[in-house]
Amino acid sequence: MVKSLYGVEEAINTIWVFLEQHEGVLKPVSLELLGKARELADDAGWSVVALLAGAEVEVLVQTAFAYGADEVRLAEHPLLANFSVEGYTHVTCEALLAAKPSAFLLGATPDGRDLAGRLAVRLRTGLNADCTDLRLDPETGVMVSEVSGFGGGVLALLQMQYHRPQMATFRPGVFPLRAPDPSRRGKVISVPVRLPPEMLHTRVVERVVGSGLDLSQAPVLVVGGRGVEGDFDTLREIASLLGGEVGATRPPVDEGYIERARQIGQTGVVCRPKVALVCGVSGAFHFVVGIQDADTVIAINNDPGAEIFKHADYCVIGDAREVLPALLEQLKL
Ligand SMILES: Cc1cc2nc3c(=O)[nH]c(=O)nc-3n(C[C@H](O)[C@H](O)[C@H](O)COP(=O)(O)OP(=O)(O)OC[C@H]3O[C@@H](n4cnc5c(N)ncnc54)[C@H](O)[C@@H]3O)c2cc1C
């Protein structure tokens, strides 16, 4: 078995969280992870360290404390202004090797996934990717990550007994965003950055941002399944009147009724809205994982035995083609 660059005996009982930011704005998933790390650390008597890298990002330090960090390791350098996998891997790897934390958590964002994979190889440790939950055994210091997958309704529990740091990435929205405590304070430690420019093989020429759609943060989600028969116009109107977004199950996406970025579920987006209005959806496991943490689920289905009703707080047994226009009329009043 290949040994990690530092082992279980050398690891310090801290959970490190990678704070992902762009132009000084933190990704919500980083703050969600700080909250989860705080909860686990409190139970185990460990501490939480946030790794913040970028150029002129010191202003974010207090936010990290407010969301649960005890300490911030601050790596600032002009070449870290834009994310590059070479630069960020180098700096993060050096910081981890100097401090030897037991765990390192990252968001399963495009940059987080890129960084995590390369780091895990460099540190010769493992990586539990795309996890949906995390536990920590305070006795052994071993973390158990939950991953749904293998193409079916299977939940795998993964643990790393012999390698450190225990690395894992988490999808945005799987952990709740805890209320910040602005009075929390902590320690800031500068990370020395040795980053020769020739180390970076990529240069950001232009940044083109997509639609900016982030369903994981929508307060209200109006979801259409195969049962709405492609009528997303009514759902869009309802969502707009409720201040929310439209989502879909996989069949309408596959059939081209709506863009793939709006697919909810295991292979789509995992959401945590206050209200999910779910119309013409059967309630397959792959879909339900995407809305199971909604505060309130309202389901409309014409089949009284539909599985979705087991996951709903309010069940409307009826034809979506009748219920939705009636609802829209009421909302317009
Ligand atoms: C590896 C894998 C990953 C997957 N990932 C995802 C994922 O991320 N997201 C996802 O959604 N699916 C995913 N799927 C597919 C998933 O298993 C289901 O097939 C899918 O969620 C079913 O979508 P549906 O509920 O819209 O359609 P159906 O299962 O066909 O259900 C349609 C429902 O609409 C109801 N209905 C029909 N007409 C009406 C009407 N007029 N009024 C009211 N109700 C009506 C029916 O009673 C039925 O319950 C995945 C599958 C696999 C194998």
One fold for both 12-199 and 215-332? yes
Percentage of the chain beyond pLDDT 90 is: 85
Strand ranges inside the chain, DSSP E: 12-19, 21-22, 25-26, 47-54, 71-76, 101-107, 127-131, 133-136, 143-149, 154-159, 166-170, 187-190, 220-224, 245-248, 275-279, 296-301, 314-317
User: For domain 12-199, which architecture applies?
Assistant: 3-Layer(aba) Sandwich (3.40)
* Closest protein CA for atom 48 of ligand 1: 282
Mutate to test the pocket of ligand 1, among 221, 229, 281 (most ligand atoms within 8 A of CB): 281
Specify the range with the lowest mean pLDDT, choosing from 30-39, 53-62, 159-168, 197-206: 197-206
Backbone angles phi, psi at 70, to 5 degrees: -90, -25
Residues with CB under 6 Å of ligand 1 are 151, 225-227, 249-251, 263-268, 280-282, 284, 286-287, 300-303, 306, 319-321
> Is the pLDDT score of 21 beyond 70?
yes
Alpha carbon of 286 to ligand 1 centroid (Å): 9
- Cα gap 248→229, rounded to integer Å: 11
Looking at domain 215-332, its CATH superfamily turns out to be TPP-binding domain (3.40.50.1220)
DSSP 321: H
Q: What is the pTM of this model?
A: 0.71
Average pLDDT, the chain: 94
- pLDDT tens string 253-281: 999 999 999 999 988 888 989 999 999 99
pLDDT of residue 214: 84
Alpha carbon of 319 to ligand 1 centroid (Å): 16
pLDDT of residue 251: 97
Percentage of the chain beyond pLDDT 70 is: 98
Q: Average the pLDDT over 205-213 and give the result.
A: 75
pLDDT of residue 121: 97
Binned at pLDDT 50, 70 and 90, residue 154 comes out as confident
> Is the pLDDT score of 151 beyond 60?
no
Q: What are the residue ranges spanned by the domains of the chain?
A: 12-199, 215-332
